[in-house]
Amino acid sequence: MLRVDNLSVKILKNIRLSLDAGEHLCILGANGSGKTTLSRAICGLIPSDAVWVDAQPVPSLSPRERSETFHFVPAKLDLYDEYLSVRDYLGLNAPAQEAAINAVLETLGISHLRESRCAKLSSGESTLLMVAGAMLRRARYTLFDEPTANLDAKNSIKLYRLLTSSPLFEHRIVITHDLNLAYALGAKILYLEDGEERFFGECEAFFAPENLQRCFGGFVTRAGEHFMVNYNEAR
């Protein structure tokens, strides 16, 4: 189980949350509200003793335990060496598992990119590549930072299906701005505002109209199972 106990790093103030075994999380909030900071703190990239996994503080995990526990899929693929190929990248997630690598590429429909250089991929293709890496890694907690931001509708649905059905993601923590995705995922919701926790609880409670009004003002309207951003509100 994952527990964040009174975490205050950078702009985050007194964040508390806990996820039991098998529970997932969706982190929502405005730009700059601390979503990425929180997810980086959870997986130890910003070391903090306020984050615990199974009664052990995250900074005390060994590098190997850490890699088995957490995997972070950033919003943007960042690689220094421009000659790293897709195969090289996936090989780092699953050393010497050619068959597994090919299977994952097949699942995501990017087999044709196997020998390409990562630096040449489009942003959508990079996202798929990072998801492929996460599937190979099979960490206990996989964190996705805005995974659908660069994907077309078809690939967004493919990713949604993978997130919800794949046994490879034991616990998933998804940062997103896409309320429809958050609703469909049905996981616990954490809503951040200026580094503070504004809501933490079940999905249905978050998407209740009065709570939406409280968090988003008039900018978001619920229409049945769908959520719409009211661009007209700005007029």
Partner 1 sequence: MKHVSLFLSLALLCLAPLFGEISLDYRLIFESGSSDHTLFWDIRLPRVLTAFFTGSVLALAGLVFQSVFRNPLTTPFTLGVASGATLGTAVAIVFLGGIAIYQYLLGFAGAIVSVAILFILSRSLKSTQTHTLLLAGIAMSFFYSAALMVLFYLSDFTQSYSIVRFTMGSLGVFGMEYVIPVMAVSLLFVALVRSYRHDLKLLLTSFEFAYLGGIDPGRTAMALLLISSAAVAVCVSVTGPIGFVGLIIPHIIQMIYRRSADTLIMPTFFYGGVFLVFCDLIARNLGTASDIPIGVITSFIGGPFFIYIILKRKRTHG
Interacting residue ranges for partner 1, rule: CB under 8 A: 40, 43-45, 63-64, 66-67, 70-72, 74, 78-81, 83-85, 88-89, 92-93, 95, 139
72 or 200: CB nearest partner 1 = 72
Which residue has tokens 């805005």?
146
Q: Which is nearer to partner 1, 53 or 182 (CB)?
A: 53
Q: How far is the CB of 186 from partner 1 (least distance, A)?
A: 26
Q: Which is nearer to partner 1, 93 or 150 (CB)?
A: 93
Closest to partner 1 by CB, 66 vs 188, is 66
Taking the complex as a whole, the smallest distance from the CB of residue 43 to partner 1 amounts, in Å, to 6
CA distance 99 to 86: 15
Burial of 54 from C-beta contacts in 10 A (0-12 / 13-18 / 19+): exposed
Minimum CB distance to partner 1 smaller for 45 or for 100: 45
Greatest CA separation found in the chain? 57
Rounded to the nearest whole angstrom, what is the least distance from the CB of residue 48 to partner 1 in the complex? 14
Q: Smallest distance, Å, CB 157 to partner 1? A: 27
DSSP string over 194-228: TTEEEEEE-HHHHTSHHHHHHHHGGGEEEETTEEE
| Least spacing, CB of residue 80 vs partner 1, in Å | 4
Element (H, E) at 5: strand 2-7
CA separation for the pair 18, 134 (Å, rounded): 22
Q: CA-CA distance, 119 to 35, in Å (whole number)?
A: 26
